[in-house]
Amino acid sequence: MDFATIIQMLDSTVRLATPLLLACLAGLFSERAGIFDIGLEGKMLIAAFASAAFAVFSGSVWVGLLAGIAASLMLSFIHGMASITFRGNQLISGVALNFLASGLTVLLSQSWFGLGGRTPSLEGAARFSEITLPFADAVRGVPVLGPIYADLISGHTILVYVALALVPASAWLLYSTRFGLRLRAVGENPAAVDTAGVSVVAIRYAAVLICGVLCGLAGAYLASLAAQFGREMTAGRGYIALAALIFAKWRPWYALTACLLFGFLDAVAIRFQNIDLGVFVIPVQFTQALPYILTVVILAGFVGKAIPPRAGGEPYVKER
């Protein structure tokens, strides 16, 4: 494998890891506040549909982005109502949202566009364009560093850079601000937070809505990357993001590493259809299944070792 191929693989890794990273950070905020969210998949899916559909109608990717965020926030609000206000089972609520998004997106896309659950292709201003960083073309010929800057760091859409910037921003918000301290405390001991005069309900709703915004960004990125919405296009990425979150032990920087690992496996599956090891050939079906195999391995091997927030999944009932 030559250096150019390695750069291409890493470039694909970053692109494929971006929606996972956004969804993983979304789940991090929600679960740190004590609200487990199995519905990341559904939020991403409905955001991808809304983003693609409204980008088609308006011809503007920014209108599509806002529509995707709004659709994801709608499901987040429903999840918040079920889990926080009505103190329902958070896992059942999340699964229900996944089913709702799966059926609703196909129904609306078929009703609006009549293309068998797809939207028309996104073109021109309806898609995010790639950003060329300063001096990228000038340094492309420089050995090693030139291709890294020009072909790996430069040339991504704005949501890729936003996702990467959200990692240190999330770490700062969670560990260096009063809001972050309260959010983490709500996930560990909501009664103590309530005793201090801080609204547990308000903090949890804020976390759930932050989760909705980030899932909206993830869905909009998927729609723009594929240049259209397709039925079940999230393909389990919401569940993979949850596995990455557990692997990362609910920490932003570890989440980045975990998502890049999953993105790399996706890139391998796309790049190498059949891997010839000389003695035998690894079939394409195995390489395509690698991200899902790793998800099962992580869930089987790390669930018992990774300690979630102590109040996670438990509705809070204020003592009188």
Contact in structure between 57 and 51 (CB atoms under 8 Å): no
- Contacts (Cβ under 8 Å, ≥6 apart) of 226: 233
Does the residue 183 lie in any domain?
yes
Q: In this structure, is residue 300 part of a structural domain?
A: no
- Is 72 part of any domain? yes
- Whether 212 maps to a domain, the answer reads yes
Range of the domain at 8: 3-235
* C-alpha–C-alpha distance, residues 100 and 119, integer Å: 19
Q: What is the C-alpha to C-alpha distance for residues 232 and 226, in angstroms, rounded to an integer?
A: 13
Query: H-helix or E-strand containing 281?
Result: strand 281-282
Domain membership flag for residue 222: yes
Looking at residue 72, its pLDDT comes to 97
Rounded Cα distance between 208 and 165, Å, is 20
Reported as half-sphere exposure (CB side, CA atoms, 13 A), residue 61 has a value of 23
Look at the chain and report how many structural domains it folds into. Answer: 1
Is residue 250 in some structural domain? Answer: no
User: 3-class SS at 156?
Assistant: strand
- Closest of 67, 73, 78 to residue 26, by C-alpha: 73
Walk along the chain (320 residues) and give the pLDDT tens digit of each residue: 678 888 999 999 999 999 999 999 999 999 999 999 999 999 999 999 999 999 999 999 999 999 999 999 999 999 999 999 999 999 999 999 999 999 999 999 999 999 888 999 999 999 999 999 998 888 888 888 888 999 999 999 999 999 999 999 999 999 999 999 999 999 999 999 998 889 999 999 999 999 999 999 999 999 999 999 999 999 889 999 998 998 888 999 999 999 998 899 888 877 776 666 666 666 777 777 777 777 777 666 655 566 788 888 888 877 65
pTM of the shown model: 0.93
- pLDDT at residue number 145: 87
Alpha-carbon gap, residue 193 to 199, rounded angstroms: 8
Q: What is the DSSP string of 75-95?
A: HHHHHHIIIIIS---HHHHHH
Structural tokens at position 87 = 């103190």
41 DSSP β-pair partners:
none
Give the model's pLDDT for residue 279. Answer: 65
